[in-house]
Amino acid sequence: MAAAKKHDHDRNPPAHTTRLTGSEILWATLEGEGVTTVFGYPGGAILPAYDALRKFPIRHVLVRHEQGAAHMADGYARASGKVGVCVATSGPGATNLVTGIATAMLDSVPMVCITGQVSSKVLGTDAFQEVDITGITLPITKHNFVATRPEDVAPMIREAFLVARSGRPGPVLVDITKDAQQASAEFDFAAAAPKPHRPHPMLKTESASILQAAELIRNAKKPVILAGHGIIQSNAGAQVITLAERMRIPVASTLLGLGAFPASHPLSLGMMGMHGEAWVNHAIQSSDLLIACGMRFDDRVTGTLATYAPNAKKIHIEVDPAEINKNVKVDVALIGDLKEALEALLPHLAPRDAKQESAWLREIEAGKGEVAVRDIRNLPDSGHLYAAHVMHDLWRATEGKAIVVTDVGQHQMWEAQYYKHDEPRTLITSGGLGTMGFALPAAIGAKIACPDKEVWVVAGDGGFQMTAAELATAAQEHLDLNIAIVNNGYLGMVRQWQEFFYDKNYESTPLLSPDFVKLADAHGIRGTAVSSRSQVLPAVTEARAHKGPYLINFMVEKEDSVYPMIPAGSALHEMIRRPKKSPLVETAQDK
Amino acid sequence: MLHTFVALVEDKPGVLTRVASLFRRLNINIVSLTVGHSERVGVSRMTIVCEASPTAGHRIAASLYKLENVLQVDDVGQLSHVARELALIKVAANPKTRSQVFELAEVFRARIVDLAPESLMIEITGVESKIEGLIQVLNENGDRILEIARTGRMVMRRGQHTSKVLEAMRVPGVETPEELKAEEESAAASDVLMAEETGFRE
């Protein structure tokens, strides 16, 4: 994935060079690293740090559960491209962060987590609220530290920021003992700078591979670019557009890659994989060259590996050498920062003759007109409200410009299919870990990172309840946040799997929810319920006009499914299609 | 097949756990692991031998390098190198049977480093097969082995190759000779280009 090249921490070294407590050093170092907002929850072992907070110009957002703090820092980082910071106390505070840290790890999000720890004198004694959080988070952080002395704090925090944003970004945890927060040490921000990061001997975008890649691209008849999250993190959108336009190559996106390449671009195919449109997956399967940019051939985008793109050569451009040949064997690997690799590659590529490519583009275009594509979005209003209507109208109303933060499940896939993202960092979603409960807190982080942007939460009725307590955080912070709950009364994606693969045995998926509008009201948040298509746009318009948080409970078709779908273990082209005579669309007058 | 990696790591608490945890996560059994000081203060040298599929080498090395405390990784299995292991073997032997063990030790160029009325201790260095050879001969000879302590394999690449740790740490005044640099670069380049040989899965 991407290498963050610019380290803005060297620009404004703070003036503190005196003797400070470890707590003061913590905040001063964060300030020096450019941190303006942290998300956290106080407790015994982190109290000295909280006591010192008021001396520093850092906004603290009080969450309702530490998982929320981690997701907020994550959403903040994804929306802004900066490092997100969350703070928790020792023991349960620290363990509550775990799901949020793992979410950031799987999606390579730069994040620094600060946890309090019991005093160094009682470490390892099962003291009150002691837990080995560095041991627990070892496999789900890029790196972690324990600071037991005040003089450790500044160098460790600074190194944590460097590690979090360099190479393939990821979360870093710094555990600070209570005595290290309380004791004093000399503080010198500049002197605490980490030593230059070790060079990566495996990073090689040397000319031989570049030439080989260029030759493959020049000779390809049916190339496809696979656009991943790395494009956004490496800020390589412009280079990918140049590559696609110059060589007339269509672009398919991963879920996290949506927005990296404009959805409205004529060469954009849309999302690939398990719930990708059929023509996208067919294009990949019949392609003769895949150019993978900052993506990792996750099992959700490849289907079974044995039959994945059988006739295609593969070029993999990736910053993490451990991703090369992990799932899919590639022919050429360009290991390094995506933007740099593409800049090295582009001069070797002369614009392709438009005629040569048009046959391939026509072949893909023909797939779009296939009869099996039954786009319910365009059906006349039959009294049924489909999630597709909600997403489509939301996209129309916001002109595709809002930051949409989704939860995990059916609504997430419908969002990916029907909301067309033209800008990077406008879709924020938990891809790798698939963390339900992510949307609301991550959206709070995104809104705080981008206060001038319109932010929408899109969540299911199941996932929303996992972190619904953060409604209080949104209310307390007076955030102008819009919340769309796609409410079908089921844990919808699990129900869909039960429908397809478990004989419709809907075990434990019907879901009783509170009246979400009343729940919002209890938090002083405005809300409305929508159950017909004609009400969708007016409700969205109302929410957008309202200052402050606004919740819409969309009561959609209960047993609608996400189509197409590749069953786990099937080939990419073996999709389950929307049934032609679905009882759900029978009443709609489909021609 | 057996893979051998040399990793230069920071000499800090928890580093061994990070390395070991990586193999645990990949569900790969570590056959032997030796750790000791390297030529630099603050840098330890690990030799890790593990059993994994023939194509797993690249991915293991790359994953090792993802650990922040790892300064350098070498997959030495394919390269010309010297491998050695040290073993201490305590054998039951009384004054009557000793001389036989002495003779065996002589053949294997091993040394007797401790002598007690009812036992003696042999020190032997060499490749694993040599050590295993001595153990086998002792067993076949009817000598009762009381204890064996083995260090596990440690290796060093032959020739002028030096560890890149000095360069990696940006130690002033230490520079890699140009021809070596070129050689290493081409070696690294072939790592990348020969994707077929480094693929993790079939």
Number of domains present in the structure of chain B: 2
Q: Residue A127 domain-assigned?
A: yes
- The mean pLDDT value for B27-32 works out to 94
- A357 and A387 co-located in one domain: no
Q: Among A425, A469, A338, A433, which Cα is nearest to A77's?
A: A425
Cβ atoms of residues B22 and B63 within 8 Å: yes
pLDDT score recorded for residue B200: 32
Residues in chain A within 8 Å Cβ distance of B72:
201
CA A368 → CA A278, A283, A363, A391, B193, distances in Å? 8, 11, 9, 20, 37
pLDDT score recorded for residue A471: 98
Q: Residue A579 domain-assigned?
A: no
pLDDT digits (tens, 9 = 90+) for A64-107: 999 999 999 999 999 999 999 999 999 999 999 999 999 999 99
Average the pLDDT over each of A554-558, B10-14, B197-201 and give the range with the smallest value: B197-201
A178 is catalytic: yes
Q: Residue A509 CA to chain centroid, in angstroms?
A: 26
The β-bridge partners of A111 are A84, A171
Q: Among A446, A451, A468, which Cα is nearest to A459's?
A: A468
A437: left (phi over 0), alpha (psi -120 to 50) or beta: left
pLDDT digits (tens, 9 = 90+) for A428-460: 999 999 999 999 999 999 999 999 999 999 999
Q: Do A204 and B62 touch (CB under 8 A)?
A: no
- A255 and A380 co-located in one domain: no
Calpha distance A56→A70 (Å, rounded): 21
pLDDT digits (tens, 9 = 90+) for A268-307: 999 999 999 888 999 999 999 999 999 999 999 999 999 9
- A24 and A128 co-located in one domain: yes
* A228: pLDDT strictly greater than 60: yes
CATH of the domain at A158: 3.40.50.970
What's the gap in Å between the CA of A322 and the closest CA on chain B?
5
pLDDT score recorded for residue A201: 62
- Edge-first strand order for the sheet with A526-530 is A427-428, A403-406, A455-460, A481-487, A550-555, A526-530
Q: Do A206 and B164 touch (CB under 8 A)?
A: no
Give the structural domain span for B41: 1-79
Q: Residue B197 domain-assigned?
A: no
Residues in chain A within 8 Å Cβ distance of B182:
none
pLDDT digits (tens, 9 = 90+) for A321-337: 999 999 999 999 999 99
- A40 and A183 co-located in one domain: yes
Cβ atoms of residues A547 and A480 within 8 Å: yes
Q: Residue B65 domain-assigned?
A: yes
Show which of residues 209-268 on chain A sit within 8 Å of chain B, judged by CB atoms: 209, 212
- A309 and A436 co-located in one domain: no
Q: Residue B173 domain-assigned?
A: no
* A39: pLDDT strictly greater than 90: yes
The distance between the two most distant Cα atoms of chain A, rounded to a whole number of Å, is 77
CATH of the domain at A272: 3.40.50.1220
Q: Residue B172 domain-assigned?
A: no
SS3 track for A530-573: ECCHHHHHHHHHHHHHCCCCEEEEEECCCCCCCCCECCCCCCCC
Pairing of strands B81-92, B111-116: unpaired
Q: Residue A589 domain-assigned?
A: no
Q: Which of B67, B189, B195 sits opposite A204 (nearest CB)?
A: B189
Q: Residue B143 domain-assigned?
A: yes
Calpha distance A564→B117 (Å, rounded): 80
- B2 and B75 co-located in one domain: yes
Q: Residue A588 domain-assigned?
A: no
Sorting pLDDT into bands at 50, 70 and 90, what band is A376? Answer: low
Domain boundary among B34, B56, B79: B79
Domain boundary among A163, A192, A221: A192
Q: Do A202 and B201 touch (CB under 8 A)?
A: no
| The pair of three-digit structure tokens given for residue B135, joined into one six-digit string | 């153990």
Calpha distance A411→A391 (Å, rounded): 9
Neighbours of A131 (CB within 10 A): 19
Calpha distance A152→B44 (Å, rounded): 22
* B195: pLDDT strictly greater than 80: no
Q: Residue A110 domain-assigned?
A: yes
Q: Do B201 and A196 touch (CB under 8 A)?
A: no
- The mean pLDDT value for A246-258 works out to 96
- B52 and B88 co-located in one domain: no
Calpha distance B122→B101 (Å, rounded): 9
Q: Which of A201, A212, A325 sits opposite B199 (nearest CB)?
A: A325
Show which of residues 141-160 on chain A sit within 8 Å of chain B, judged by CB atoms: 142-143
- A338 and A386 co-located in one domain: no
Check if A326 contacts B (Cβ < 8 Å): yes
Percent of chain A with pLDDT over 90: 84
Domain boundary among A322, A338, A368: A368
Check if A305 contacts B (Cβ < 8 Å): yes
Residues in chain A within 8 Å Cβ distance of B188:
201-202, 204
Q: Residue B186 domain-assigned?
A: no
Domain boundary among A368, A399, A422: A368
* B179: pLDDT strictly greater than 50: no
The amino acid occupying position A555 is M
Q: Residue A578 domain-assigned?
A: no
Q: Do B66 and A202 touch (CB under 8 A)?
A: no
- B72 and B90 co-located in one domain: no
pLDDT score recorded for residue A485: 98
Check if A181 contacts B (Cβ < 8 Å): no
- B29 and B66 co-located in one domain: yes
Sorting pLDDT into bands at 50, 70 and 90, what band is A242? Answer: very high
Percent of chain B with pLDDT over 70: 79
CATH of the domain at B35: 3.30.70.260
CA neighbours closer than 13 Å in the CB half-sphere of residue B77: 20
CATH of the domain at B103: 3.30.70.1150
Q: Among A350, A326, A341, which Cα is nearest to A247's?
A: A350
Domain boundary among B26, B61, B79: B79
Q: Among A80, A47, A34, which Cα is nearest to A449's?
A: A80
pLDDT digits (tens, 9 = 90+) for A527-566: 999 999 999 999 999 999 999 999 999 999 999 999 889 9
* B93: pLDDT strictly greater than 50: yes
Q: Residue B125 domain-assigned?
A: yes
- B66 and B97 co-located in one domain: no
pLDDT digits (tens, 9 = 90+) for A146-171: 999 999 999 999 999 999 999 999 99
Sorting pLDDT into bands at 50, 70 and 90, what band is B79? Answer: confident
**Is the N-terminal amide bond of A564 cis, ω within 30° of 0?**
yes
Calpha distance B34→B154 (Å, rounded): 7
Q: Residue A569 domain-assigned?
A: no
Give the structural domain span for A109: 8-192
- B19 and B40 co-located in one domain: yes
- B44 and B22 co-located in one domain: yes
Sorting pLDDT into bands at 50, 70 and 90, what band is A504? Answer: very high
- B102 and B75 co-located in one domain: no
Neighbours of A353 (CB within 10 A): 9
Sorting pLDDT into bands at 50, 70 and 90, what band is B175? Answer: very low
pLDDT score recorded for residue A366: 86
A129 is catalytic: yes
pLDDT digits (tens, 9 = 90+) for A466-494: 999 999 999 999 999 999 999 999 999 99
Calpha distance A92→A178 (Å, rounded): 16
- A166 and A40 co-located in one domain: yes
Q: Among A257, A227, A305, which Cα is nearest to A432's?
A: A257
Number of domains present in the structure of chain A: 3
Q: Residue B171 domain-assigned?
A: no
CA A448 → CA A78, A96, A263, A470, A481, distances in Å? 12, 22, 26, 14, 10
Residues in chain B within 8 Å Cβ distance of A327:
201
What's the gap in Å between the CA of B151 and the closest CA on chain A?
27
Average confidence score pLDDT of chain A: 91
Cβ atoms of residues A38 and A53 within 8 Å: no
Domain boundary among B111, B131, B150: B150
* A15: pLDDT strictly greater than 60: no
SS3 track for chain B: CEEEEEEEEECCCCHHHHHHHHHHHCCCCEEEEEEEECCCCCEEEEEEEEECCCCCHHHHHHHHHHCCCEEEEEEHHHCCEEEEEEEEEEEECCCCCHHHHHHHHHHCCCEEEEEECCEEEEEEEECHHHHHHHHHHHHHCCCCEEEEEECCCEEEECCCCCCCHHHHCCCCCCCCCHHHHHHHHHHHHHHHHCHHHHCCCC
- B124 and B146 co-located in one domain: yes
* A379: pLDDT strictly greater than 90: no
Decide: helix, strand or coil at residue A242: helix
- A187 and A239 co-located in one domain: no
A363 is catalytic: no
Check if A134 contacts B (Cβ < 8 Å): yes
pLDDT score recorded for residue A66: 98
- B1 and B65 co-located in one domain: yes
* Burial of residue B99, with CB atoms counted within 10 A of its CB: 0-12 exposed, 13-18 middle, 19 or more buried: exposed
- B86 and B58 co-located in one domain: no
- B48 and B95 co-located in one domain: no
* A187: pLDDT strictly greater than 50: yes
Q: Do B192 and A324 touch (CB under 8 A)?
A: yes
Q: Do A322 and B168 touch (CB under 8 A)?
A: no
Average the pLDDT over each of A89-93, A587-591, B26-30 and give the range with the smallest value: A587-591
Residues in chain A within 8 Å Cβ distance of B185:
206
Q: Among A326, A377, A384, A318, which Cα is nearest to A531's?
A: A384
Q: Which of A137, A168, A297, A324 to mutate to test the interface with B (most CBs of B within 10 A)?
A: A324
